[in-house]
Amino acid sequence: MHATEKSLRGLVDKWLAPTHAVRTRVTRFSRLSLHRQRYVCVETSGPMGTLALFFFRHDDRSWRVYPPETERPAMASWL
């Protein structure tokens, strides 16, 4: 994945394609309560209406439109 595809700005450009005629802004940002993972909600308003997307921060420091997987307990055995 290229650096621009990992950055929040790069993903906003990719998914929302903001222009001067279309207003784009961060409407919400916080952390998920369970593992304190960050998220940002970006909203765009244009002639077709309003669209909001959530972006989630992953452990590799990239931003994606889906939340990171939760770590689950695992068992291992050694022979």
For 2-41, write each residue's pLDDT tens digit: 555 678 999 988 888 877 777 889 999 998 776 678 999 9
The whole-number average pLDDT for the span 56-66 is: 89
The whole-number average pLDDT for the span 38-58 is: 89
**Tally of domains in the chain:** 1
Separation of CA 17 from chain center: 15
Domain around 23: 3-64
- How many angstroms separate the CA atoms of 65 and 70, rounded? 15
Is residue 74 one of the residues assigned to a domain?
A: no
Is residue 72 one of the residues assigned to a domain?
A: no
Is residue 79 one of the residues assigned to a domain?
A: no
Is residue 40 one of the residues assigned to a domain?
A: yes
pTM over 0.75: no
